[in-house]
Chain A
Amino acid sequence: MSFDTLLQAAVLVLQFDVLLAILGGAVYGLFIGALPGLTATMATALLVPLTFYMAPLPAIALIVSSTAMAITAGDIPGALLRIPGTPASAAYTEESYAMTRAGHAGRALSIGFFFSALGGLIGATVLLMTGPLLARLALNFSSFEFFWLALLGLLTCALVSGSNPVKGGVSLAIGLLIATVGLDVTSGQPRFTFGSVELSGGVSFIPVMIGMFAFSEILRGLSGIGAADAATAATPASDGAMRPYRGILGLLKTYPLSLVRGTALGSSLGALPGVGGDLAAWIAYGVSRRFSRTPQKFGTGHPEGLIEATSANNSGLSSAWIPALVFGIPGDAVTAIAVGVLYMKGVAPGPRLFAENPVMPTSIILSFFVANLLLFPLGYFAIKAARMVLKVPRSVIVPMILLCCFLGSYAINNTLFGVGIMLVAGLVGYVMERNNFPIAPVILGLVLGPVLERNFIMSMQISRGNLTGFFERPVACGLGIFVLIVLGLTVWSAIKGRRRVMAGEPDDSLTS
């Protein structure tokens, strides 16, 4: 990419209408993302009619900035109310909520905004510099590589989510099983639908996520076993801690590796169509815990994993545009909508666009920079506003959250079936948590279940049922061996821990 192209793109992005679109999109994204149950996809879809009346670049800039902000703002209900805004933020909701309960809500939100913005900026740089190269590499991946990647993400989540890997495995199996409900991905036959029309479309992860994280937490709080909720955690001491970005540079100095590793993971995994962004946050959190010097602190409001996962989240979001822009193949719903808008405007994304009109894709990438830079000031105001949420008494905020749970579950498909799913998921989540089964693997199993199944079945058909086929391609072989090592190490440490327990020694494996 020439300097001239970059300069022309910068001039285009700094036009008043583009900047206004970016600012408007960011404020709108902040509003949508902070509302429990409303997703970045929904935010993008709602913007499409507005883009009819806009020029191509402001239209895409609007989508880019609203998505980046909605996904980052999804951390707000996660940290304050334990309602993750996106599947990616579910990876670290427990951690940020634990920080809020400890009276450090401001710190949790500051980490979310600051490191998301940094991750997004680094991700945009990667998109600018190495986009075509990464996309070409990802396009060479077959179902074998995607299967191993999905399995790695699922295993990492199941193994690090709780103290007992077996119970993590049960949670994962339940999530994967829920993902099989609906039309079978290979034959299109209904599966476990029990004659229900609504179940034919599968079980949406939004009501399950709301039920398992929010409704079950409210039941725990009312039963007296849950820790104090966000509202009661707002002690006078935590008021002082609500200062936005206070001590954030100190965290940057303490955990630089987490930022680098998180953004590296996010940038590389984000480019993979279909699984990228969400998977990056989960794997980043798992990797952070695995290689941390203080893994026992994870889950108690420790910033290390939060920094790594939240950086991976937003850098993955930027690189998710690599396959969409460079090859015109959208990897997720948001980029699919954006590609649709580009086509509507007469701009066909793909390699020819980079060759014939390089200023256009470069301008889109530069709008990422502006959108992510806006995260810093808008995050400041969002954290200030969050202080008010923490001051609301429990008797007021709990009924409000419950009604938001109802509405969020209803709004995803405009059907009460979602509310029923949310209530069942809430009760199941309550029983699971009471019995030390982690609930995060259920959500990831539900999200990645179809990806895992589609790629597994496809790989089995290609290799005609021969499992050695999963190790024949070099990258697939490397990933497969890595997965087996992770599994082997977990089984080994579990057996070692068991022997120690039987011998009356403290069990390290439960905390590592």
Chain B
Amino acid sequence: MRIADRLFGPLLTAFGLAVLWGAAQLPRVPGVRFGGELMPTIYGIALIVFGGIIFLTGLREGGPAFDADEWRGRGRAGLAAAWSLAGLLLGMVLFEPLGFPLFGLLFVAVMMGLMGARPLTILIVAPVFVLTLYLTFSGVLRVSLPAGPLGAILP
């Protein structure tokens, strides 16, 4: 996703202005001369200035203001990218009810399938990898991971 500098510059300037506005809204502590608003204000000003420079230097650039050509005609790879995002978002929702082992299995198997792995490879690698990861983090490193419905049979 390429955004031309002549468009990116004003976006950064607008972001910097939003930061300045946000910093101005922060509550002031009586008697404190240099409070929590000071640094965000400096960073906001920096973003405004940098945005202006990027806009000015980008004016000489040609080409479209916006393009996402890299995703055109990507087929299964595009689907895999979409699943990498959607699958992990889904994982945030299903993590507790499904548990890490089942979610991990679903995510890895679908992703491997979309990336062109052979069914036999998926059948062997996905469960072994997910189970190893679960047992390592949950058993050895004591990271609290939900086991979900498999809790009855997993340690």
The answer on A and B forming one complex is yes
Identify the A interface with B (CB < 8 A). 32, 38, 46, 166-167, 169-170, 173-174, 176-177, 180, 184-187, 189, 191-192, 215, 218-219, 222-225, 393-396, 398-400, 402-407, 410-411, 414, 416, 419-420, 423, 427, 430-431, 434-435, 449, 452-453, 456-457, 460-461, 465, 498
Given A189-B29, A395-B112, A395-B115, also A402-B70 (CB < 8 A)? no
B78 within 8 A of A: yes
- Which A residues lie within 8 Å of B38 (CB)? 456-457, 460
On chain A, the residues within 8 Å of B139 by CB distance are: none
Q: How many residues of B contact A (CB 8 A)?
A: 64
Question: Number of residue pairs across A and B with beta carbons under 8 Å?
Answer: 163
Chain A residues with CB under 8 Å of B112's CB are: 395-396, 399
Which 3 A-B pairs give the minimum distances between C-beta atoms? A184-B36, A399-B111, A395-B115
Contact of A223 among B51, B53, B74, B100 (CB under 8 A): B74
Cα-based distance from A215 to B88 in the complex (angstroms): 11
CA distance A38 to B33 in the complex (A): 40
Interface string of B87-107 (1 = CB under 8 A from A): 111011001000010001001
A180 and B40 contact, Cβ closer than 8 Å, known pairs A189-B29, A393-B117: yes
Across the interface, A414 reaches (CB within 8 A) one of B43, B92, B107, B144, namely: B144
Q: Are A189 and B85 in contact (CB under 8 A)?
A: no
On chain A, the residues within 8 Å of B108 by CB distance are: 399-400, 402-403
Q: Are B36 and A191 in contact (CB under 8 A)?
A: yes
SS class of chain A's interface: helix, strand, loop or mixed? helix
Q: A170-B47, A394-B115, A403-B133 are in contact. Are A189 and B88 (CB under 8 A)?
A: no
> What's the minimum C-beta distance from A4 to chain B, rounded to whole angstroms?
43
CB pair B50 A170 closer than 8 Å: yes
**A430 to B71 Cα, complex, angstroms:** 13
- Inter-subunit contact B143/A414 (CB<8 Å): yes
B14 within 8 A of A: no
Complex: A420 Cα to B93 Cα, angstroms: 11
Q: Which residues of A contact B84 (CB under 8 A)?
A: 215, 218-219, 222, 402
**A-B contact list, 17 entries, CB within 8 Å:** A167-B50, A177-B43, A189-B29, A222-B74, A223-B70, A224-B74, A395-B115, A396-B117, A399-B115, A402-B84, A403-B133, A406-B107, A430-B1, A457-B39, A460-B38, A465-B33, A465-B34
Residue of B nearest to A219 (CB): B81
* Complex: A185 Cα to B125 Cα, angstroms: 47
Contact B43 A434 (CB under 8 A): no
By CB atoms of chain B within 10 A, which of A32, A184, A411, A457 has the most? A184
Binary CB contact string for chain B from 118 to 152 against chain A (1 if under 8 A, 0 otherwise): 00010001100110010001000111110000000
Given pairs A402-B88, A431-B1, 10 additional interface contacts (CB within 8 A): A166-B50, A177-B40, A187-B36, A399-B111, A402-B108, A403-B129, A407-B143, A410-B145, A453-B39, A457-B39
Cβ-neighbour of B39 out of A180, A403, A406 (below 8 A): A180
A187 to B31, CA, bound (A): 11
Chain B hits for A184, CB < 8 A = 26, 35-36
- List the A side residues contacting B33 at CB < 8 Å: 460-461, 465
A447 to chain B, nearest CB (A): 15
Alpha-carbon distance between A430 and B68 when the two chains are bound, in angstroms: 12
Q: Which residues of A contact B130 (CB under 8 A)?
A: 403
Closest B residue to A465 using CB positions: B33
B34–A186 CB distance below 8 A: yes
Complex CA–CA separation, A215 to B53 (angstroms):
30
- Give chain A residues whose Cβ lies under 8 Å from the Cβ of B12: 170
CB within 8 Å of A: which residues of B? Answer: 1-3, 5, 8, 12, 19, 22, 26-27, 29, 32-36, 38-40, 43-44, 46-47, 50-51, 53-54, 57, 70-71, 74, 77-78, 80-81, 84-85, 87-89, 91-92, 95, 100, 104, 107-108, 111-112, 115-117, 121, 125-126, 129-130, 133, 137, 141-145
Q: A167-B54, A169-B50 are in contact. Are A407 and B39 (CB under 8 A)?
A: no
Q: Which residues of B contact A224 (CB under 8 A)?
A: 70, 74, 77
Known: A166-B50, A166-B54, A219-B84. A395 touches B39 (CB 8 A): no
Q: A186: which B residues are within 8 A, CB to CB?
A: 32, 34-36
Q: CB distance B50 to A173 under 8 Å?
A: yes
Shortest C-beta distance, A175 to chain B (Å), equals: 9
| B residues near A407, Cβ cutoff 8 Å | 100, 133, 137, 143, 145
Knowing A186-B32, A423-B88 are in contact, say whether A404-B81 is a contact too (CB < 8 A): no
In the complex, the answer to whether B39 meets A456 with C-beta atoms within 8 Å is: yes
A248, chain B: closest CB distance, angstroms: 31
Query: Residue B43 contacts which of A173, A223, A403, A460 (CB distance < 8 angstroms)?
Result: A173
List of B residues within 8 angstroms of A403 by Cβ: 104, 107-108, 129-130, 133
**Given A225-B70, A402-B88, A403-B108, A189-B26 contact (CB < 8 Å):** yes
Pairwise interchain contact A419-B129, C-beta atoms closer than 8 A: no
Question: Given A173-B43, A434-B1, does the pair A398, B111 have CB atoms closer than 8 Å?
Answer: yes
Asked whether A223 lies within 8 Å of B50 as measured between CB atoms, the reply is no
Complex Cα distance A347/B108, Å?
Answer: 49
Of the candidates B27, B32, B111, the one whose C-beta lies within 8 Å of that of A402 is: B111
User: Considering the chains assembled together, what is the distance between the CA atoms of A403 and B109 in angstroms?
Assistant: 11
- Identify B36's interface contact among A173, A176, A189, A395, CB under 8 A: A189
How far apart are the CA atoms of A167 and B34 in the complex, in Å?
28
B3 touching A46, Cβ below 8 Å: no
Q: How far is the CB of A339 from chain B (nearest CB, A)?
A: 23
| Residue from B8, B19, B77, B91 within 8 A of A435 (CB atoms) | B8
Residues of A within 8 A of B133 (CB): 403-404, 407
